[in-house]
A and B are shown apart, each in its own frame.
Chain A
Amino acid sequence: MSAAVVIARTGRAEWARIWSVRSSWLFVLATAVAVLGIGAIAGTDASAPPPGATAWDGSRPCALFALFGILAMAVVTSTADHGTRGIVPTVQWTPRRGVLLAARAGVIVAVMTLLASVLVVVATVVVWALKGGVGLPAGEGARTVGDLAFVYASGALLAVGLGLVTHSTAAALVIVIALVLVLPLLVAQLPFGWTTEIATHLPGSGALFLIFGEGPSDDMTTTSARLTMAVWAVAALTAGGWRLLRTDVDR
């Protein structure tokens, strides 16, 4: 049996694992309400849009809410097996842990990226429909969704990695929210040059730069922001993968 078949089967099981619990649907609902709600608020805002503004500009806050929704969902999805000890039958059903890691990370990242991207696109359409005088250019949309998809994929990967490292929903949530939201804002406010440098290399700073085009330092570029997010995501997944592959299950 080829590795591709085994990974495909395990991926199907991972997909079933996500949709078969009510909490996943609650996360989808809550994230959708938040993202589309922010889109509706942005669309009905009375202030006149700046010249040349598009609906994609107006939906940037929606993208941030989508990010937090999928980060939380990715953490809960990746840690649920450990919190409930469901990892025991999981590893019995997929004893090749490398396959399990690839399928789990791949499915969660794909689902979260698709979910958040679709929500942002719909929220942007809401902004465009409600706010007069803004366009909905397809080219800008493709670029924006591409950038956002990278943010969501690397953010979800970071969340999965942290979930696999900690095995704890609470711990992984605290760490991921700290890295993506709290620390970039706090550290950047400290009046030292070196703290600005640190803030620049936090994954949240990369995400904020790719969403809003602004970061803690003027030196940040799209490439550096992507690189920062990718390094954090790969590092977290490497650490989480090491724990899954090398240690006893549920010990």
Chain B
Amino acid sequence: MSISVQGLTKTYGTVRAVDDLTFDVEAGKVTGFLGPNGAGKSTTMRMVMGLDRPTSGTATVNGRPYAEHPAPVREVGALLDAAAMHPGRTGRAHLRIGAHANGIPRSRVDEVLDQVGLTAAAGRRIRGYSLGMRQRLGIAAALLGDPRVLLFDEPVNGLDLDGVRWIRALLRGFADEGRTVLVSSHLMSEMQLIADRVVIIGRGRLITDAGIDEVLRGLGGQRVRVRTPRAGDLRAALAARAAVEATAPGELEVTGLSATEVGDLAHELGAPVHHLAEVEQSLEHAYLSLTEGSVDYHGATA
């Protein structure tokens, strides 16, 4: 039970949205799919689901392209775009269409509505749903065929804290049941909590495909953040013993020394220390460092 992407390429005119991408998603794990805006994550997921046609390469689920499975929604469920629904239809009617198309009994529609907590709102028209409710309905649609492989594109968008905790437990539960879970998100803290592996892409190309621990280890040793009005003097004193980076006026980040060692050195110099702490290794830091140079759209700072 897995997703296999091999040499996948998608071009739009002169733009290569996905460029010779290769990775596998294993069963029994939550795999985070990360990348800056425009990196090609959604396009890749759409190609896996047969919505977009690859320029070259293949995307298969359990050894076959999605469309070639005899009962595709029983193999794969996907939430790609929660806004992609007819607003004039009720939530229940939306799901029943999917059930009719795949020979799924009506009782399953009620089951998934219950699973996502939408039973009470199932008879209301979708135009009256909040973004979070649409997200839940999209997740219900993905679960309709009780598939072994699940793809979610930004599933926590629009969800409140309860919803986020629910989706976190849901995804973890699916992986623990041995299902294959591929989930894209911009929320690195969320990914760090739920993902076992991450596939990071930038400008359509693979940047890394590794376990979370492996990615965090790749950041190097412990980092220490220190703030002092004599940052220049401290930096000069630290330079011989560790890697030092000025991260803000009066602030340094030191790699290779403990907080105690940095504090002692500042004391020897007679430099007043206003802040001294070890920086927690985060997926966000790893992600930013890995995708540096792969970001197409930067915002201006005031």
Q: Do A and B bind each other?
A: yes
For the complex formed, measure the closest distance between the CB of B188 and the CB atoms of chain A, giving whole angstroms.
27
Contact A248 B53 (CB under 8 A): yes
Identify B51's interface contact among A1, A96, A250, CB under 8 A: A250
Residue B80 lies at the interface, judged by CB distance under 8 Å to chain A? yes
**Known contacts A9-B102, A85-B81, A249-B51: does B97 contact A1 (CB below 8 Å)?**
no
Query: Does B100 lie within 8 Å of A92, measured CB to CB?
Result: no
- Which secondary structure dominates chain A's binding surface? helix
Query: Which listed residue (A1, A81, A251) contacts B86, Cβ 8 A?
Result: A81
**Stretch of B68-76, B192-200, B233-241, B278-286 that contacts chain A:** B68-76
**Are A84's CB and B87's CB within 8 A?**
yes
Q: Name the distance in Å between B151's Cβ and chain A's nearest Cβ.
A: 10
**Binding stretch for chain A, among B88-96, B173-181, B224-232:** B88-96
- How many residues from B make CB contacts under 8 Å with A? 33
- CB contacts (< 8 Å) of B85 on chain A: these are 84-86, 89
Q: Which of A1-44 contact B (CB under 8 A)?
A: 1, 5, 9-10, 12-13, 16-17, 20-23
Does A93 touch B at the CB level, under 8 Å? yes
Beta-carbon contacts of A49-62 to B below 8 Å, as 1s and 0s?
Answer: 00000000000000
- Bound together, the chains give a CA A141 to CA B93 distance in angstroms of 38
Question: For chain B, what secondary structure do more than half of its interface residues adopt (helix, strand, loop), or is it mixed?
Answer: loop
Which residues from chain A contact B72 at a C-beta distance below 8 Å? Answer: 92, 95
- Which residues does chain B contribute within 8 Å of A251, judged by CB atoms? 52
CB pair A249–B52 under 8 Å, yes or no, is yes
**B141 beta carbon closer than 8 Å to chain A:** yes
User: When the two chains form their complex, are residues A88 and B84 in contact, meaning their CB atoms are under 8 A apart?
Assistant: yes
A190 is an interface residue with CB less than 8 A from chain B: no
Cα distance A249–B84 in the bound complex, in angstroms: 12
In the complex, whether A91 has a CB less than 8 A from a CB of chain B is: yes
Contact with B along A87-128 (1 / 0, CB 8 A): 111111111100000000000000000000000000000000
Would A94 and B86 count as touching, CB distance under 8 A? no
Q: Are B141 and A89 neighbours in the complex by a CB distance under 8 Å?
A: yes
Chain B residues with Cβ under 8 A from A91's Cβ?
Answer: 50-51
Whole-angstrom distance between the Cβ of A3 and the nearest chain B Cβ: 11
Closest-by-CB residue of A relative to B151 is: A92
A239 — which chain B residues lie within 8 A by C-beta?
none
Q: How far is the CB of A249 from chain B (nearest CB, A)?
A: 4
Is A80 at the interface (CB under 8 A from chain B)? yes
Residues of B contacting A92 with CB < 8 Å? 49-51, 72-73, 78, 80, 141
A residues within 8 A CB of B66? 95
- Contact (A93, B84) CB under 8 Å given A248-B52, A250-B51: no
Mark interface residues in B94-137 (1 if CB within 8 Å of A CB, else 0): 10111011110000000000000000000000000000000000
User: Do A13 and B97 contact each other (CB < 8 Å), given the known contacts A248-B51, A249-B51?
Assistant: yes
B67 within 8 A of A: yes
What are the residues of chain B within 8 A of A95 when measuring CB–CB?
49-50, 66-67, 72
A20 vs B88: C-alpha distance in the bound complex, in angstroms? 8
In the assembled complex, B83 has its CB within 8 A of some CB on chain A? yes
Within 8 A of B (CB), among A233-251: 248-251
A87 to B85, CA, bound (A): 8
- Nearest A residue (CB) for B66: A95
Given A1-B70, A20-B93, A88-B51: A94 and B88 interface contact (C-beta under 8 Å): no
CA distance A17 to B66 in the complex (A): 23
Q: Which residues of A contact B71 (CB under 8 A)?
A: 1
Nearest chain B CB to A85's CB is how many angstroms away?
Answer: 4
Instruction: Name the distance in Å between A2's Cβ and chain B's nearest Cβ.
Output: 10
- Max chain B C-beta neighbours (<10 A), residue from A84, A93, A251: A93
Among B66, B72, B86, B98, which residue has the most Cβ atoms of chain A within 10 A?
A: B86
> Could you say which residues of chain A place their CB within 8 Å of the CB of B88?
21-23
| Beta-carbon nearest neighbor of B144 in chain A | A93
Complex interface bits, A62-75 against B, C-beta within 8 A gives 1, otherwise 0: 00000000000000
Most chain B CB neighbours (cut-off 10 Å) among A23, A84, A92, A248: A92
Task: Give A248 to B49 CA distance when docked, in angstroms.
Answer: 11
Q: A91-B51, A249-B52 are in contact. Are A84 and B84 (CB under 8 A)?
A: yes
Instruction: Determine the chain A residues whose CB is within 8 A of the CB of B84 once the complex forms.
Output: 84-89, 250
Contact present for B51 and A85 (CB under 8 Å): no
CA of A23 to CA of B72, assembled, Å: 30
Chain A nearest CB from B170 CB (Å) reads 19
Cβ contact within 8 Å between A20 and B89: yes
Subset of 8 A-B contacts with CB under 8 Å? A12-B100, A12-B101, A21-B89, A81-B86, A85-B81, A86-B84, A89-B98, A92-B50
Additional pairs, 14, CB under 8 Å, beyond known A12-B100, A20-B89, A250-B84: A1-B71, A9-B101, A13-B98, A16-B100, A20-B96, A80-B86, A84-B86, A85-B84, A86-B86, A88-B84, A93-B101, A96-B67, A248-B46, A250-B51
Q: A-side interface residues toward B, CB under 8 Å? A: 1, 5, 9-10, 12-13, 16-17, 20-23, 80-81, 84-96, 248-251
Q: Nearest 6 pairs between A and B by C-beta?
A: A95-B67, A13-B101, A20-B93, A88-B84, A85-B84, A13-B100
